[in-house]
Structure 1
Amino acid sequence: MIGKIHKQMSHDSWLFSKMATPDYTPFVFLLLLFQSGVWGVPVCQTPQESPTCGYKSCHATKPGMLNVHLVPHTHDDVGWLKTVDQYFYGDRNDIQHAGVQYILDSVVDQLLKNPDRRFIYVETAFFYRWWKQQTDDMQNTVKQLVNEGRLEFVNGGWCMSDEATTHYSAVIDQMTMGLRFLNDTFGHCGRPRVAWHIDPFGHAREHASMFAQMGYDGFFFGRLDYQDRNRRMVAREQEMLWRASESLTPPMADLFTGILPNGYNPPEGFCWDQSCDDPPIRDDPDLEDYNVDDVVTRFLHIITHTLSLSLSLPPPLHQALVYKTNHIIMTMGSDFQYENANLWYKNLDKLIRYVNQMQSNGSEVNVLYSTPSCYLQELHRANLTWPLKGDDFFPYADSAHDFWTGYFTSRPALKRYERISNSYLQTCKQLEVLGGPISRKGPFGAGDSETLKKAMAVAQHHDAVSGTEKQHVANDYARKLANGWAHCQVLVSNTLSSLSGSSAPRVYCEHLNISVCPLTETSKKFSVNVYNPLARPVSWPVRLPVNGTAYSISDAKGKAVDSQVVPVSQATAAVRRGRGYAVNELLFQVQAPPLGYSTYSVSLLQNGPPSPPSPLPRAPTAVQNKFLRVTFDPETGLLSSLSNLETQQTVKLSQNFYWYNASDGNNSESIQMSGAYIFRPNTSTPFIISKTAKIETLQNSVVQEVRQWFSPWVSQVVRLYTDSRALELEWTVGPVPIGDDLGKEVISRLDSSINSSGVFYTDSNGREVLQRRKDYRPTWNLRQSEPIAGNYYPINSRAYIKDDKDQLTVVTDRSQGGGSIQDGSLEIMLHRRLLYDDVRGVGEPLNETSDIYPEGLVVRGRHLLSLSPPATAADTHRPLAQEVVLQPLITFTDGELHPSTRLEFSGLQAVLPPAVHLLTVSQWDQDTVLLRLEHQYQASESKEHSQPVTVNLQKLFSTLDMLGVSEMNLSANQWKDEMTRLDWKAESGEKPLPKRGGDPSVWEVSLKPMEIRTFLLRVRQR
């Protein structure tokens, strides 16, 4: 029987719900008095409650005039040159003068002095901190400013996320966190209407798709390729309709998008912050330095001067002639400005007054305080048609030799830590729901997921996971993530203890990738608990550091599990640097149920063999399992071919490591150096590290390994597990040598016989795939000036090349940059160590070291290779990428388990269909759960799985009874059926297709390709 969470119609309304009883007899059930913010769900305020916020708060414009929208704003990086804490408090001003708390103090004070003034604020992470420190009186004052539209929130996420190196699930999480706080605090008037990404270094199509599904009416950004901008200025196409999905029915993923004229800075000569040098407006005619006439003249010149289309004009000039309407926007602010807001507002008041006085002399310019949403409203009222955009805005270059493609890989260790932290956070949130209240306060103490949620949200910032911050700030991001892990570990221990009935302490080994785990190295008997956060069963290889030579392993049903012991490789022993002393690794395959765990018991055999078989010091002719066959060149020790035995496909395939010599700026064409942001090799031909590899080979019933050494600082294991459809390449790079005074950008390159014709494919934030063509941009005729860096793109989870017969896919374990420079080739950048700053603000070279690696950071990672026919490749690489993004969590308990311990558990009643991904399971409030279901295939991507699919919510969880449900928008800050967006017309003249039909019942949820649906569930623990 249908159970629905009813929507609030006023602050003091009662909620009623129908709920299903065991015999499906419906009855009316009184739920609770739903006060504002009780559940943190959308508050549906009536117009009388908020008559002036949002679009209603906009100042009137003047028809027939050029209306100049001045937008006072500050751009407050959530960490960059200083840590988040340092920025908030105004600490370490010797690095950068910035104090966010003083900005908000000053802005609120100045807004109160003139009701015409406006201000927008973006970064909820900072505003949340400031809000908590305010008195009740100040909070009420700020609420009044918000309700009157004088203080407006735009974007509203915890941070302004990077768009190249973030995974969509983490972006959705951080947006949800920020928007929920604004919703709980300010209700309807706190909801942003505009997405605002003024600083990220290129823009992803998937971000636009997510923003559209979150209910934003428009999107504004500042950075795009200089060639693209120049063309758009001439064609007056700086505002467009971005069709951000090839699968979702328009206008579901359509987003009006505008490019700001000055990046996000004020026009030249009109900056009035304490950090600016521009002269103030001196308006006393009795004083010698009176300059009003000069200021007005310069201002009018900037916006109305005649445009010569034959010139390549810089963006700040001639705004009126490069946009389509009689409205233009000016961003009046910049990084950490308005700490003394009086400076800005005093001069802006004068600018508005004196420019508008010219109307009496025939001027047709009208200047007003405004916000991005007010500007957007005027564009909508113009009722024009707009050009369509279907691709994305990567890569970004700000001049001919300055491609911002290095940060796709910068700080690869932090990028990996962020990715596995996302996986751990999803597991933590799931177990918080499945465990109920005991998860947060149980036998192991008080645990929480909030600490890791906030740390992960901060890590999405465009100077965090991007790798473009100072070293001490990167360290701080990692410290915050580690602190979040510690809080979640208590929660996870509590839940697993409750579900299993075992109070044995849980042990977490966070360095298994380098074979370090004190418990497994010393214990003779222990258990391994494998929790799977996916909604389908997974098979996962486990490698544990041990010092014994033989072990017996049994699964949850007591069945013996095949295992092997192999020696720890020389590369692993070297990279550990004394943090572990295991001489061997115990290998076995585990199976874990959906949204659940399975427990394996491990015992040391006293009478095992004296030592595991030693590796053979030669290259094999081939290694194979029932799915794949891999051949090696016996002379070089390198890969030579890859075969799919199921489909009878074979491609020639070689793989090796190279490095580009990073430009030091001593170049006749440009002085640009490679740095944290910019990738600029000084030649188009990389240096090969070694033409041959030293080889060791291991082959047993669990795995076949070919261990390759290319140099003292580059090694790799080519690994094929018995039941795997993917070939694993585990690479270890570092310390990158710089004794030759050369910065190095290290790549892994695959060269195949596939006829890729200059085309390759990359994912966008882990979701939809985009086609990339060498030396080509879909929307303008590219003048290529950097043949390597200008063909690099972000790879968030996978990339592939293909022809009519074969598709070679590489799944990555973190965000990396890569390209296809030659036909049949795919290269991925692994590590960067540079000697110069690229002069983009960070002020230090990307030269990572640590206490453990003082001579340079060592990075280890994995690439998974699959070979399939193009028609069925997605059936392999999508679930494979998903397993890497959401990998199982492995925990340990020492000694023998109690006989009553529950060794296996699944939080689902049944496995979900292969097309369905359980994207979010998160505790919302005491009795409510946030659920997101995702169709993970694109339209026409898979003959089998690119079809609509239906899930019954009542038959979903094994530990929860469903009492009520209501559908939300993607960011969970609006009811789905009340979400309205501005409609926009494309120049193609096409009309939006009708909206999707309803589900057969509220419990039966249908999903179309690439669709994400978000629900708030009222639940009861069983």
Structure 2
Amino acid sequence: MAARSEHLHTAAAFCAFSLLFCAVSSFPLAPEGKRQTKCGYESCPVTKPGLLNVHLVPHTHDDVGWLKTVDQYFYGDRNDIQHAGVQYILDSVVDQLLKNPDRRFIYVETSFFFRWWKQQGEEMRNTVRMLVNQGRLEFVNGGWCMSDEAATHYSSVIDQMTLGLRFLNETFGECGRPRVAWHIDPFGHAREHASMFAQMGYDGLFFGRVDYQDRDQRQKSLDQELLWRASDSLTPPMADLFTGILPNGYNPPEGFCWDQSCDDAPIRDDPDLEDYNVDDVVQRFLAIAHAQANVYKTNHIIMTMGSDFQYENANLWYKNLDKLILYVNRRQSNGSNVNLLYSTPSCYLQELHRANQTWALKTDDFFPYADDAHDFWTGYFTSRPALKRYERFSNALLQTCNQLEVLGGPVSRNGPFGKGDTLTMRKSMAVAQHHDAVSGTSKQHVANDYARRLATGWNTCQVVVSNSLSALSGSAAPRVYCDLLNISVCSFTEASPEFTVTIFNPLGRPVLWPVRLPVNGTQYSVSGPDGNHVDSQVVPVSGSTHDVRRGRGFAVNELVFEVQAPPLGFSSYYVSQSQEWTGTKTGPESRPKTGLTQGSLQIENKFLRATFDPDTGLLTGLMNLETKQKIDLTQNFYWYNASDGNSSDSNQPSGAYIFRPNSSTPFVISKTAKTQLIQTSVMQELRQVFSPWVSQVVRLYSGSRALELEWTIGPVPIDDDLGKEVITRLDTNIKSGGVFYTDSNGRELLRRRKDFRPTWDLKQSEPIAGNYYPINSRAFIMVRDEENQLTVVTDRSQGGSSIQNGSLEIMLHRRLLYDDVRGVAEPLNETSALFPDGLVVRGSLLLSLDPPKSAADKHRPLGQETVLQPLLSFTKGKPEASAELTFSGLQTALPPAVHLLTLSQWDSDSVLLRLEHQFQSWESQSNSQPVTINLQKLFSTLTVLGFSELNLSANQWKEDMKRFDWTPKTEKPVQKTFVDPSFWEVTLRPMEIRTFLLRVRL
């Protein structure tokens, strides 16, 4: 208890040091402010015991881009596409709330509300504050958007939630804090999202989309409301979240939609008129209410009264809802047991909590989602793979930008290279998390807009990076960034005989990283920050790289070398073109060997050996040279023929959302590959060409413990009038028994089994699509008794499965000719001015082979390196003599189990820090143990003066986070109490993320 008291004392002292921080920052209002308001649970309407209380929830679902861009939706532009104008919705709702104090409204998407708020005068702002303080206007969810749950990475979800919730706290204080997570539209639900929501302090989660078989079973057992235990490592109830499945998706009951976009008849209550319909409306509503009550557990039910972009004319809704409540409740005098009331999801949740029931316990997730027997929403796991990669790559830049803004100090925002900011990129990345953005389920022009926003964020972030690196290195040399290195394009390196490349590592541990730079010379010398020679090699650019450039870049070669980058820091390497071959120790050690060897065909380093069939050119085996493990491994590319909807059992085609092949057997693209072997001291690779539109490089760098498969696919041919779902399949002799593992949003791993769901008896109707799951960062198959685990790390979110025993398949690209009738109204057929014949996509998979008991020690760090890869920048010529060539922002590297998740500027003298234990409790003998970190000894350039702990989303003090307790049907566990060793030392347990606000001095 002493340490706890010191912590609170220091938190109070922290407030004393910074009046601005405590008075107007994104933290709850002072107690005296709370007493002047009546919001949250205190503002809930009174219900009637013994009656069926129907909670009517007026709401609008406002997509942050989908059929129109974010701007078009806000302003009400392009109504020829979809009639929607968010600014008018908020105008109209506020006006109508003032006319009846019983009325309620909930709002979700903070990005739209933020825009609207900026345009309001002080009088309107005061009116809205009054409505919020009285609980009549309530925010739910509160993130910048309602994020997708399949294709998002947890770090980006946390960032976008923090951005939205911070604005609400700064604007409305405690009354602006949402109590309920509201994910009514995402297409399946991830366990990691539930875990994050619980750690953010939410009392419950509501959503609408659930598999049709799952819903049928839950209706019969009255388990549509449940307790979701969202972690197998965090001690309950830390990741427990009450979860409710809404009865009508997020729409109103049939016949009771009163928006201008609806066709239902209004309530006509003048008895002198011929079309008086009150009795009919009441009878229909009572029948619906009783039917709904029969499949839920308590005498409280919820009805969502609204839908997509509704309430632009809120008078239509509220006038009819007022009448509905009046006339239904009048029936109580004649014996009716139904009581209608305006309500909110949090008020409904409070009544469920008061009911003191026991609830079904769920420990898996809600993937995959199907709304009918042949309609599995598993295609969007891969849709728009280029946008998915750009979003993931942008996250790496944003984290680097955030970190360097802290490490560089104020000069990073306004320095020698101009004014930069991180907020532009934060907002762009937050928008990209929307469930029609990174999911790939928007119209093409909207997808282009998401990419444009990210590009704008890159520009402002790179100014921050340049200013910060200039301050940290002491060099004022202008910096150049090459954003197309994945296709070997960089005009700077292509034309420069000498230059310096600086590698910034955003991870909290050192990394060995391969660098590939486009050049036109044939001989180069590379020296590291210590002045010593670094082994480098020049290899020719591949034909597929040349083709995908489409006129961008002119380099004929690539310079390849490996660099060491310190934790949270940079290293600079000097590159100069040599005039002639020297053969000495200061030059390249050996010329690259190109061509095919006789007999066996293989590439290897000191860790791995990959073998190939010399006749077919295909991969045949993988061996871990350290452990002597060896598996048969065949890899090839295939495509599923996408259904056009013309079949006897269903008219459902494949589209942006839905994956529906018309056969369970994919077509092989080629049984052989043309090959070219390149062997150097730095890297060995086999270049494979399978067809004019499919190629691959299988590569091993000298220091890598993973085999890289760099694939290039496209333009996918459609001259045969067939849409294609392109996969790569890894076939092994591992006896996996139909079991495989995938990650959840990049964090915890979930066990999958073919044709199986843990919570109901599955009737499988789509043997391929019905077994696909999101792979956000990695998947693996294993068999423990043979001590083999094959892990695949992806560079973006993709869909995948294990259809055959010992096999993993991952969908890489999709090109489709039909719309899947889910609203987008255009096929997923990506083209552009540069790619009029169809999109070409490049990516990579990393393969590792390890014993299961130690595999996580390899694939966890490998996954983090893939997500947060180093940032390269370039300057002309040699580094300045006085420049620092290496720097680390940490005093020492973080332990292997600890990941530096967030380091970002909060205000002028405080920074936000998140430290994460990145191992589950069961997956590593050495790293699944608690780890203690001393915050005062963490940074090399920051002096930590004090700190306080926050919840995960940084909108509540950890001490103030109180959540509802729920009783599962199983025995309720007792929560353990952990105490940190001392004030400055904090302990992280498996899968724990701890969030701190540090007061610092540079």
| CA distance in structure 1 between the partners assigned to 2:97 and 2:258 by the alignment | 16
Aligned to 1:116: 102
| CA distance in structure 1 between the partners assigned to 2:201 and 2:760 by the alignment | 30
From 538, 544, 567, the counterpart of 2:540: 567
State yes or no: 1:135 paired with 2:131: no
Q: SS at the partner of 1:860?
A: strand
Deviations 1:324-380 (A, max 9, x none): 000000000000000000000000000000000000000000000000000000000
Aligned to 1:419: 392
CA RMSD of aligned residues (A): 1.6
Amino acid at match of 1:991: K
Q: How does 1:66-145 map to 2 (within 5 A)?
A: 66-145=52-131
Deviations 1:167-201 (A, max 9, x none): 00000000000000000000000000000000000
From 966, 977, 986, the counterpart of 1:1005: 986
Aligned to 1:17: 13
State yes or no: 1:361 paired with 2:342: no
Q: Check the 8 A contact 1:118/1:370 in 2, yes or no.
A: yes
From 542, 556, 561, the counterpart of 2:529: 556
Deviations 1:443-466 (A, max 9, x none): 000000000000000000000000
Aligned to 1:679: 659
Aligned to 2:460: 487
From 45, 58, 72, the counterpart of 2:44: 58
Q: How does 1:221-260 map to 2 (within 5 A)?
A: 221-260=207-246
Q: SS at the partner of 1:981?
A: coil
Deviations 1:759-784 (A, max 9, x none): 00000000000000000000000000
| CA distance in structure 2 between the partners assigned to 1:15 and 1:973 by the alignment | 15
Aligned to 2:715: 735
| CA distance in structure 1 between the partners assigned to 2:181 and 2:12 by the alignment | 35
Q: Check the 8 A contact 1:37/1:184 in 2, yes or no.
A: no
Q: SS at the partner of 1:746?
A: strand
From 283, 287, 307, the counterpart of 1:334: 307
State yes or no: 1:261 paired with 2:282: no
Aligned to 2:892: 910
Query: C-alpha displacement at 1:3, in angstroms?
Result: 12
State yes or no: 1:768 paired with 2:754: no
From 650, 653, 659, the counterpart of 1:670: 650
More displaced stretch, 999-1008 vs 740-749: 999-1008
Deviations 1:82-133 (A, max 9, x none): 0000000000000000000000000000000000000000000000000000
Amino acid at match of 1:443: P
Q: SS at the partner of 1:808?
A: strand
Q: Check the 8 A contact 2:11/2:948 in 1, yes or no.
A: no
Q: Structure 1 stretches of 5 or more lacking a match? A: 9-13, 19-28, 305-317
Q: Check the 8 A contact 1:760/1:801 in 2, yes or no.
A: yes
Query: C-alpha displacement at 1:7, in angstroms?
Result: 7.6
| CA distance in structure 2 between the partners assigned to 1:602 and 1:580 by the alignment | 19
| CA distance in structure 2 between the partners assigned to 1:467 and 1:58 by the alignment | 38
| CA distance in structure 2 between the partners assigned to 1:182 and 1:550 by the alignment | 57
Query: C-alpha displacement at 1:39, in angstroms?
Result: 3.2
Amino acid at match of 1:936: Q
Distance 1:640 1:76, change over 3 A: same
| CA distance in structure 2 between the partners assigned to 1:116 and 1:883 by the alignment | 53
| CA distance in structure 2 between the partners assigned to 1:353 and 1:5 by the alignment | 56
Deviations 1:368-425 (A, max 9, x none): 0000000000000000000000000000000000000000000000000000000000
Aligned to 1:838: 820
Q: Check the 8 A contact 1:15/1:34 in 2, yes or no.
A: no
Q: How does 1:131-280 map to 2 (within 5 A)?
A: 131-280=117-266
Aligned to 1:1016: 997
Distance 1:201 1:44, change over 3 A: farther
| CA distance in structure 2 between the partners assigned to 1:191 and 1:290 by the alignment | 43
Query: C-alpha displacement at 1:36, in angstroms?
Result: 6.0
Query: C-alpha displacement at 1:38, in angstroms?
Result: 3.1
Aligned to 1:890: 872
| CA distance in structure 2 between the partners assigned to 1:523 and 1:180 by the alignment | 45
Query: C-alpha displacement at 1:34, in angstroms?
Result: 4.4
Query: C-alpha displacement at 1:558, in angstroms?
Result: 0.3
Distance 1:564 1:470, change over 3 A: same
Amino acid at match of 2:221: A
State yes or no: 1:606 paired with 2:606: no
Query: C-alpha displacement at 1:1002, in angstroms?
Result: 2.4
Distance 1:747 1:60, change over 3 A: same
| CA distance in structure 1 between the partners assigned to 2:22 and 2:177 by the alignment | 14
Aligned to 2:287: 301
Q: How does 1:494-643 map to 2 (within 5 A)?
A: 494-608=467-581, 613=592, 615-617=594-596, 621-643=601-623
Q: SS at the partner of 2:187?
A: coil
Deviations 1:504-545 (A, max 9, x none): 110000000100001110101100100000000000000000
Query: C-alpha displacement at 1:303, in angstroms?
Result: 1.5
Q: Check the 8 A contact 1:962/1:1017 in 2, yes or no.
A: yes
State yes or no: 1:818 paired with 2:797: no
State yes or no: 1:476 paired with 2:472: no
Q: Check the 8 A contact 2:591/2:680 in 1, yes or no.
A: no
| CA distance in structure 2 between the partners assigned to 1:704 and 1:187 by the alignment | 58
Query: C-alpha displacement at 1:43, in angstroms?
Result: 3.2
| CA distance in structure 1 between the partners assigned to 2:597 and 2:695 by the alignment | 15
Query: C-alpha displacement at 1:50, in angstroms?
Result: 4.3
State yes or no: 1:719 paired with 2:699: yes
Amino acid at match of 1:853: F
Q: Check the 8 A contact 2:428/2:454 in 1, yes or no.
A: yes
Distance 1:605 1:946, change over 3 A: same
From 396, 408, 413, the counterpart of 1:440: 413
Query: C-alpha displacement at 1:41, in angstroms?
Result: 3.3
Distance 1:97 1:6, change over 3 A: farther
Aligned to 2:943: 961
Query: C-alpha displacement at 1:865, in angstroms?
Result: 0.2
Query: C-alpha displacement at 1:716, in angstroms?
Result: 0.2
Q: Check the 8 A contact 1:567/1:612 in 2, yes or no.
A: no
| CA distance in structure 2 between the partners assigned to 1:939 and 1:590 by the alignment | 33
Aligned to 1:797: 777
Amino acid at match of 2:631: V
Q: Check the 8 A contact 1:241/1:257 in 2, yes or no.
A: yes
Q: Check the 8 A contact 2:919/2:927 in 1, yes or no.
A: yes
Q: How does 1:865-944 map to 2 (within 5 A)?
A: 865-944=847-926
Distance 1:1007 1:161, change over 3 A: same
Query: C-alpha displacement at 1:1000, in angstroms?
Result: 2.1
Q: Structure 2 stretches of 5 or more lacking a match? A: 584-589
Aligned to 2:635: 655
Could you state the TM-score of these two structures normalised by the residue count of structure 2? 0.98
Query: C-alpha displacement at 1:645, in angstroms?
Result: 1.1
From 292, 307, 316, the counterpart of 1:319: 292
Structure 1 runs (4+) deviating above 4 angstroms are 1-8, 34-37, 609-614, 617-620
Q: SS at the partner of 2:854?
A: coil
| CA distance in structure 1 between the partners assigned to 2:4 and 2:480 by the alignment | 41
| CA distance in structure 1 between the partners assigned to 2:243 and 2:3 by the alignment | 39
Query: C-alpha displacement at 1:621, in angstroms?
Result: 2.0
Query: C-alpha displacement at 1:33, in angstroms?
Result: 2.8
Amino acid at match of 2:805: D
| CA distance in structure 1 between the partners assigned to 2:925 and 2:326 by the alignment | 64
Q: Check the 8 A contact 2:541/2:558 in 1, yes or no.
A: yes
Distance 1:946 1:36, change over 3 A: closer
Deviations 1:464-511 (A, max 9, x none): 000000000000000000000000000000000011111111000000
